[in-house]
């Protein structure tokens, strides 16, 4: 069943520019749905609309099969974790976790049980009587999660919940949040600007840019078949390498001596190659030669930078490769690893539509 | 501090160095001088004068010890003054703070044109006591004042606001509340502004009532600001002078003769500077005690973040 169903949603703050434009998507029950996009693209606005903290300008919002656009936040059966955690500084961890439960007419005894259960799940047992200021960033984060868990709302909304944590803790919490969601079977709508979070946590991701949806799909589908140039360069680190092509009869030329079969199109075409698909042509005939401009050896992998028609391209290889800067090396790209995009619209050209029938229902 | 310590460690022991306490004193000197000239000297002089009989110029003549104090404490006039002062504080402080808080809560809503009301509510801050008092003198005028016009339109009896000993103190308290509201409002609005909006949104999602939010989120988080406002209002109210001088001159029948006004009269009308000084010292002690009690009492209830 669809936990959330958004159709043709528009949002403008007080008659200003459109912040969200014609947004339509749905979230299945029990799904971990990640909304990802650069800062300022309208992610928080969308989440706050789902929460009922902002009004819809046009379009419809259904939650659990019922019209929800006009419902108050507390009637939507949601919990929300804010970026700054929204902990009450004057209340103890226990009181923070239990905040507002009295409204749902839950017996005191049961409230305490829920609190202990949530605290136990998050490893907060020892900290229940502390104030938020006596906690570390990660512990505060857990208290915020604890409130969401104790409310037992079927839908949980999270707005960049990990962005205030340091890198190590973030990796740890990523796994924790994901496991928690699975264990409790809640529906999660998770907002982030970090494409790594999106890729690693999501059942499906929705890429948003400047208020409109760029692509919705399973992380690997989005990675392997980006719908347009924006998605191609936003998802993946380092991003996909892009270059302009010139037409040479029935083929497209990417650079001197490197051509590929031309798609059936008369407009200009951009070609894109993921960094890991640029391989070193030791024996095979190379696609082209590149002059090493810069090398970053990270231990487990090596980033090799060179110029392609003036653009900076990056190749990513596992292991440690020791080239010198200025060295001319042969590179190879398999034909089916080249992505083509319409230069005018940025849309992906032809090849490989998403595998049919693989919707969330089937995947779950 | 750290810099000083580091330097001490770095330098060889044999070289002469500026004593740290002296160096610290040097930094404090400007404020010490200002405090000494404008605060400590007058304060000690006042205490000194309160122990003497003085001539008309205010020079100490005969040492009388604590006689002024014992006379004051047994004098019905001083006790009436004390009572008027306490009543005045009770009339103005709670009402003023609650009014300012209410207005600040209203003005903190995100509504169209709220900026206009914010300016309006804080506008009394920009008015001098003298100007405001004159305005209220007109308002209270028995013949042409709007106060009585309102009473008659409401079908009530006309009143002799400032001339009746029973109503005079309240009639001075009302303009005082009006004058203080602007400042209190502005500070409280700033305090409200500092409360994270996501806390209220969290409350909304949980479905708590507005009143619950006010009680459990706003008031606790505003408590440091409230404490500040209450303290300042208390002290201000104990020291009220201008509006008394313009509206009632301590009358009728000494019903508005609050301590500061009584000090003024004793010192500059009756030239009894010794007694006036003793009153000032008593007032100082009184305010000090009230403020300490207030801080003690509120220690548990104020949440500093
Ligand atoms: N309350 C508001 N009033 C007016 N404009 C807003 C408001 N909140 C956000 N915006 C604008 O809407 C756009 C999207 O903001 P937001 O949803 O916060 O982006 P994101 O969360 O993706 O960084 C931004 O251009 C921002 O300036
Ligand atoms: Mg945001």
DSSP string for B186-239: HHHHHHHHTS-HHHHHHHHHHT--HHHHIIIIIHHHHHHHHHHHHHHHHHHHHT
- List the end-to-end C-alpha distance of chain B, in Å, as a whole number: 26
Q: Rounded to a whole number, what is the distance in Å from the CA of A90 to chain B's nearest CA? A: 6
Q: Can you give the residue ranges of every domain in chain A?
A: 2-224, 241-348
Residue B26 inside a domain? The answer is no
Contacts of A184 (CB under 8 A, 6+ apart): A149
Considering only the beta carbons, identify the residue of A78, A89, A90 that sits closest to B205: A78
pLDDT band at A361 (very low <50, low <70, confident <90, very high): very low
| Closest residue of chain A to B303, computed from CA coordinates | A90
What number is the average pLDDT over the span B153-178?
Answer: 87
pLDDT band at A154 (very low <50, low <70, confident <90, very high): very high
Distances (CA, A) of A39 to A42, A49, B12, B236: 8, 17, 55, 49
Distances (CA, A) of B299 to A92, B219, B224: 18, 15, 10
Cis link prior to B152 (omega < 30° from 0)?
A: no
Share of chain A above pLDDT 70, in %: 96
Query: Which burial class, exposed, middle or buried, applies to A181 when counting CB atoms under 10 A from its CB (0-12, 13-18, 19+)?
Result: buried
Please state which CATH number belongs to domain A241-348.
2.40.50.140
Higher pLDDT pick, B218 / B17: B218
Short-list B276, B297, B172, CA closest to B227: B297
List, for residues A311-339, the tens digit of each pLDDT value: 999 999 999 988 889 999 999 998 889 99
What number is the average pLDDT over the span B181-206?
Answer: 93
CA–CA dist A229, A342 (Å, integer): 9
pLDDT higher than threshold 80 for residue B91? yes
Contacts of B278 (CB under 8 A, 6+ apart): B50, B68, B69, B72
Q: Rounded to a whole number, what is the distance in Å from the CA of A104 to chain B's nearest CA? A: 8
CA–CA dist A263, A131 (Å, integer): 62
User: What is the CB < 6 Å shell around ligand 1?
Assistant: A 13, 19, 37, 39-45
For residue B92 the two structure tokens come to 């103005």
B105 touches A: beta carbon within 8 Å: no
Query: Which of B112, B113, B205 is the best substitution to test chain A (most A C-beta atoms within 10 A)?
Result: B205
A99 touches B: beta carbon within 8 Å: yes
Contact A89 B305 (CB under 8 A): yes
pLDDT higher than threshold 50 for residue A358? no
- CATH number at B239 reads 1.10.3720.10
**B216 alpha carbon to ligand 2 midpoint, in Å?**
27
> If contacts are CB pairs under 8 Å, which of residues 29-68 in chain A contact chain B?
51-53
| Closest residue of chain B to A102, computed from CA coordinates | B208
Contact A54, A45 (CB under 8 A): yes
Residue B252 inside a domain? The answer is yes
Up-side HSE of residue A70: CA atoms within 13 Å toward CB? Answer: 1
CA–CA dist A258, A285 (Å, integer): 11
What number is the average pLDDT over the span B188-194?
Answer: 94
Residue B278 inside a domain? The answer is no
How many other C-beta atoms can be found within 10 angstroms of the C-beta atom of residue A221?
A: 18
pLDDT higher than threshold 60 for residue B7? no
Helix (H) or strand (E) holding B280: helix B273-298
Question: ipTM score of the complex?
Answer: 0.84
Contact B291, B284 (CB under 8 A): no
A79 touches B: beta carbon within 8 Å: yes
Considering only the beta carbons, identify the residue of A86, A104, A133 that sits closest to B202: A86
Lowest mean pLDDT among A37-46, A80-89, B12-21, B134-143: B12-21
Contact B207 A78 (CB under 8 A): no
For residue A231 the two structure tokens come to 């998605």
Contact A191, A158 (CB under 8 A): yes
What 3-state class would DSSP assign to B303?
coil
pLDDT higher than threshold 50 for residue B99? yes
Up-side HSE of residue A12: CA atoms within 13 Å toward CB? Answer: 8
pLDDT band at B150 (very low <50, low <70, confident <90, very high): confident
Please tell me the pTM assigned to this model.
0.82
- List the end-to-end C-alpha distance of chain A, in Å, as a whole number: 11
Chain A partners of B202 at a C-beta cutoff of 8 Å? Answer: 80, 82, 86, 99-100, 147
B220 touches A: beta carbon within 8 Å: yes
Residue A351: the pLDDT is 58
Exposure letters A35-64 (e unless 16+ CB within 10 A, then b):
bbbeeebbbbbbbbbbbbbbebbebebbbb
What number is the average pLDDT over the span A42-53?
Answer: 94
A134 touches B: beta carbon within 8 Å: no
CA–CA dist A261, B162 (Å, integer): 99
Nearest alpha carbon, ligand 1 atom 2: A13
DSSP letter at B13 equals T
Residue A96: the pLDDT is 93
CA–CA dist B100, B102 (Å, integer): 5
> Any idea what the Cα angle at residue B139 is, between residues B135 and B144, rounded to 5°?
120
Query: Which of B202, B208, B227 is the best substitution to test chain A (most A C-beta atoms within 10 A)?
Result: B202
Q: Which of A19, A23, A157 to mutate to test the pocket of ligand 1 (most atoms within 8 A of CB)?
A: A19
Residue B125: the pLDDT is 86
pLDDT higher than threshold 80 for residue A8? yes
CATH C-level class of A2-224? alpha beta
pLDDT higher than threshold 50 for residue B228? yes
CA–CA dist B151, A104 (Å, integer): 49
Tell me which residue range forms the domain holding B183.
86-258
Contact A142, A155 (CB under 8 A): no
Contact B205 A80 (CB under 8 A): yes
E-strand stretches of B14-148: 52-54, 60-63
Residue A262: the pLDDT is 77
Higher pLDDT pick, B4 / A1: A1
Residue B75 inside a domain? The answer is no
Contacts of B67 (CB under 8 A, 6+ apart): none
Nearest alpha carbon, ligand 1 atom 16: A42
pLDDT band at B1 (very low <50, low <70, confident <90, very high): very low
| Closest residue of chain A to B305, computed from CA coordinates | A89
**Which atom number of ligand 1 is nearest to the Cα of residue A54?**
1
List, for residues A252-278, the tens digit of each pLDDT value: 888 888 888 877 777 889 999 999 999
pLDDT band at A364 (very low <50, low <70, confident <90, very high): very low
CA–CA dist A161, A86 (Å, integer): 11
Contact A271, A339 (CB under 8 A): yes
Domain count, chain B: 1
CA–CA dist B229, B250 (Å, integer): 27
Residue A164: the pLDDT is 84
B203 touches A: beta carbon within 8 Å: yes
Contact A157, A81 (CB under 8 A): yes
pLDDT band at B14 (very low <50, low <70, confident <90, very high): low
The count of residues in chain B is 305
What number is the average pLDDT over the span A208-230?
Answer: 93
Contact B202 A51 (CB under 8 A): no
What number is the average pLDDT over the span B157-185?
Answer: 89
């Amino acid at each position: 069943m669809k936990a959330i169903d958004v159709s043709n949603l528009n949002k403008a703050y007080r008659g200003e520019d459109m912040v969200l434009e014609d947004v339509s998507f749905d979230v299945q029950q029990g799904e971990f749905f990640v909304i990802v996009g650069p800062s300022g693209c309208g992610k928080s606005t969308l989440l706050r609309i789902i929460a009922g903290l902002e009004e819809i300008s046009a379009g419809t919002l259904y939650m659990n099969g019922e019209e929800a656009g006009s419902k108050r936040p507390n009637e939507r059966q949601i919990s929300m974790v804010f970026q700054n955690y929204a902990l009450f500084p004057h209340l103890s961890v226990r009181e923070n976790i239990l905040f507002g439960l009295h409204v749902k007419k839950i017996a005191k005894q049961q409230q305490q049980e829920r609190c202990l259960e949530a605290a136990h799940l998050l490893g907060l047992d020892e900290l229940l009587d502390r104030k938020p200021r006596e906690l570390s960033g990660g512990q505060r984060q857990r208290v915020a999660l604890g409130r969401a868990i104790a409310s037992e709302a079927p839908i949980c909304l999270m707005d960049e919940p990990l962005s205030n944590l340091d890198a190590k803790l973030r990796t740890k919490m990523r796994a924790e949040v994901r496991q928690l969601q699975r264990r409790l079977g809640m529906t999660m709508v998770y907002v982030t600007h970090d494409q790594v979070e999106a890729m690693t946590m999501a059942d499906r991701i929705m890429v948003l840019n400047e208020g409109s949806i760029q692509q919705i799909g399973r992380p690997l589908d989005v990675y392997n078949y980006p719908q347009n140039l924006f998605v191609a360069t936003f998802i993946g680190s380092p991003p996909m390498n892009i270059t302009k092509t010139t037409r040479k009869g029935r083929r497209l030329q990417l650079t001197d001596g490197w051509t590929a079969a031309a798609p059936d199109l008369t407009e200009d075409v951009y070609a894109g190659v993921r960094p890991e698909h640029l391989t070193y042509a030791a024996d095979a005939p190379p696609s082209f030669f590149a002059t090493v401009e810069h090398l970053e050896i990270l231990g487990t992998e090596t980033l090799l930078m060179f110029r392609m028609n003036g653009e900076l391209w990056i190749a990513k290889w596992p292991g440690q490769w020791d080239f010198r800067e200025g060295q001319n090396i042969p590179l190879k790209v398999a034909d089916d690893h080249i992505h083509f995009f319409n230069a005018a619209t940025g849309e992906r050209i032809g090849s490989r539509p998403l595998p049919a029938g693989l919707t969330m229902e089937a995947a779950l | 501090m750290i810099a000083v310590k580091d330097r001490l460690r770095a330098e060889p022991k044999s070289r002469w160095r500026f004593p740290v306490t002296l160096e610290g004193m040097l930094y404090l000197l400007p404020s010490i001088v200002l405090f000494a000239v404008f605060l400590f000297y007058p304060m000690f002089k006042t205490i000194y004068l309160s122990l003497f009989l003085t001539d008309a110029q205010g020079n100490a003549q005969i040492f009388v010890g604590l006689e002024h104090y014992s006379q004051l404490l047994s004098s019905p006039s001083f006790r009436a003054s004390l009572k008027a002062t306490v009543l005045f504080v009770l009339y103005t402080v709670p009402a003023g703070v609650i009014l300012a808080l209410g207005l600040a809560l209203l003005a903190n809503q995100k509504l169209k044109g709220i900026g206009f009301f914010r300016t309006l509510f804080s506008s009394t801050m920009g008015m001098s006591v003298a100007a405001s008092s004159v305005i209220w003198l007109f308002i209270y005028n028995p013949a042409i004042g709007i106060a009585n016009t309102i009473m008659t339109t409401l079908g009530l009896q006309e009143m002799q606001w400032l001339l009746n000993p029973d109503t005079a103190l309240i009639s001075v308290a009302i303009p005082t509340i009006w004058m203080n509201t602007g400042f209190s409002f502005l500070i409280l609005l700033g305090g409200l502004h500092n409360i994270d909006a996501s806390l209220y949104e969290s409350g909304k999602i949980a479905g708590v009532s507005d009143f619950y939010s006010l009680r459990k989120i706003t008031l606790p988080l505003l408590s440091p600001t409230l404490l500040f406002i209450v303290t300042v209002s208390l002290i201000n109210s104990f020291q009220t002078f201008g509006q008394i001088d313009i509206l009632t001159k301590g009358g009728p029948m000494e019903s508005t003769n609050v301590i500061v006004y009584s000090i003024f009269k004793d010192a500059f009308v009756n030239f009894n500077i010794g007694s006036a000084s003793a009153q000032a010292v008593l007032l100082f002690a009184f305010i000090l005690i009230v403020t300490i009690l207030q801080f003690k009492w509120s220690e548990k209830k104020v949440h500093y973040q």
